[in-house]
């Protein structure tokens, strides 16, 4: 993939109000005590509004569970009725956005992993007077698509950071595992790894992301065929856990690192099976996407100063995993 020139990106510093995980997005009124005994944040007294959140993933993925947790926390605080839906296919995602427009929601938060397909829907929403923010996918495309803000990670920049770290660790041949061909964010991650890696080479390996036994077999076969591979980089926590199994099956000594996290991955970092993970803070992406729409509707605020609001990258490794693991156990990291 050709590396595009980078524009300077300003990460807005956002002061986030006290977050509550326990509240339901469809409830309002007096805040209840949280399970750990602390008091939940109060609910805004602004008029009830409806926000649709449309992602490019089906429900049940551990990454998107964390995104949803953040979105629901913001919705509970902001007195928002949140409709969270996802569809892996771009055409289905377009239909979900159109349904939100037809329902006359007050705001839409959408991922733009396949921005060319989604851009007309974003523009239709704004033409109907519905504000739209993008998050997680579409770092390069959100402005041209017509969104008023973006919350997420510059995937290529994150890839470069990963490549530079691999270089510092002496990587000579790195396998970058892509679970969805044509996903602009995933492709950008591996392109960034190749750019950041000096003194070594990278090779992309495409796998079928919905079939973990197949993923494991594909990685295993590649490692058996090419024993020179000394590092495997995956683009999601479940794939890192599968890669660990594949390394063992192949009898390889390759190290595993990954983008994105979940609760199970923390244990693998603690044990050393996975060296490190790049965290783009999905909880924060979900929270800010919803909260920004509420702030815009209730106070005319915009976030980011016309630039993307970056939520990553940040490294999780042996030096900080114990602290982060506590948050991951609560479903927020």
pLDDT profile of the chain (333 residues), mean per 10: 40 35 36 38 90 88 93 98 95 98 98 95 98 96 97 97 97 97 90 96 94 97 98 97 98 98 96 98 98 98 97 96 94 91
H or E element that contains 50: strand 49-55
Closest CA to 74 of 47, 33, 41, 48: 41
pLDDT score, position 61: 83
Token output for 35 = 């399970």
119: CB partners within 8 A, 6+ apart:
112, 141, 144, 145, 146
Give the per-residue pLDDT at 59.
65
Q: Domain spanning 155-279: which CATH class is it, in words?
A: alpha beta
Cβ atoms of residues 280 and 259 within 8 Å: yes
In CATH terms, the fold of domain 49-154+281-312 is Rossmann fold (3.40.50)
Q: How many residues are present in the chain? A: 333
Q: Which residues pair with 256 in a beta bridge?
A: 232
What is the structure's pLDDT at 210? 80
Integer-rounded Cα radius of gyration of the chain: 20
CA–CA distance, 278 with 196 (Å, rounded to integer): 14
The span from the CA of 297 to the CA of 131, in Å, is 8
Q: What is the arrangement of strands in the sheet containing 231-234, beginning at the earlier edge strand?
A: 201-206, 173-178, 231-234, 255-259, 277-279, 314-316
**Which positions ≥6 away from 92 have C-beta within 8 Å?**
none
Asked whether this chain's domains 49-154+281-312 and 155-279 adopt the same fold, the reply is yes
Domain locations in the chain as residue ranges: 49-154+281-312, 155-279
């Amino acid at each position: 993939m050709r590396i595009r020139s980078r524009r300077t990106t300003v990460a807005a510093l956002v002061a986030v109000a006290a977050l509550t995980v326990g509240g339901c997005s469809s409830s309002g009124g007096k805040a209840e005590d949280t399970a750990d005994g602390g008091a939940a944040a109060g609910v805004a007294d602004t008029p009830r509004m409806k926000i649709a959140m449309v992602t490019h993933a089906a429900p049940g993925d551990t990454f998107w569970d964390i995104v949803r947790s953040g979105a629901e926390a913001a919705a509970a605080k902001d007195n928002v009725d949140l409709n969270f839906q996802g569809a892996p296919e771009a055409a289905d995602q377009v239909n979900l956005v159109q349904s939100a427009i037809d329902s006359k929601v007050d705001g839409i938060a959408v991922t733009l992993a396949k921005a060319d397909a989604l851009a007309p829907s974003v523009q239709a929403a704004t033409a109907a007077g519905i504000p739209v923010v993008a998050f997680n996918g579409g770092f390069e495309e959100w402005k041209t698509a017509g969104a008023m803000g973006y919350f997420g990670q510059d995937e290529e920049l994150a890839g470069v950071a990963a490549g530079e770290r691999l270089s510092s660790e002496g990587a000579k041949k790195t396998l970058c595992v892509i679970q969805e061909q044509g996903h602009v964010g995933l492709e950008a991650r591996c392109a960034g790894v190749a750019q950041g890696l000096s003194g070594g080479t990278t090779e992309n390996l495409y796998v079928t992301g919905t079939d973990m036994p197949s993923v494991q077999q594909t990685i295993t076969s590649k490692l058996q065929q090419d024993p020179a591979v000394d590092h495997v980089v995956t683009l999601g926590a479940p794939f890192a856990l599968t890669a660990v199994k594949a390394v063992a099956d192949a009898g390889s000594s390759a190290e595993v690192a990954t983008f994105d996290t979940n609760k199970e991955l923390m244990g693998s970092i603690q044990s050393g099976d996975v060296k490190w993970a790049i965290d783009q803070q999905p909880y924060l992406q979900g929270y800010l996407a919803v909260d920004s729409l509420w702030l815009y509707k209730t106070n005319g605020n915009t976030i980011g100063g016309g630039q993307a609001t970056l939520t990553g990258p940040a490294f999780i490794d042996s030096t900080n995993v114990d602290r982060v693991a506590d948050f991951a156990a609560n479903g927020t990291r």
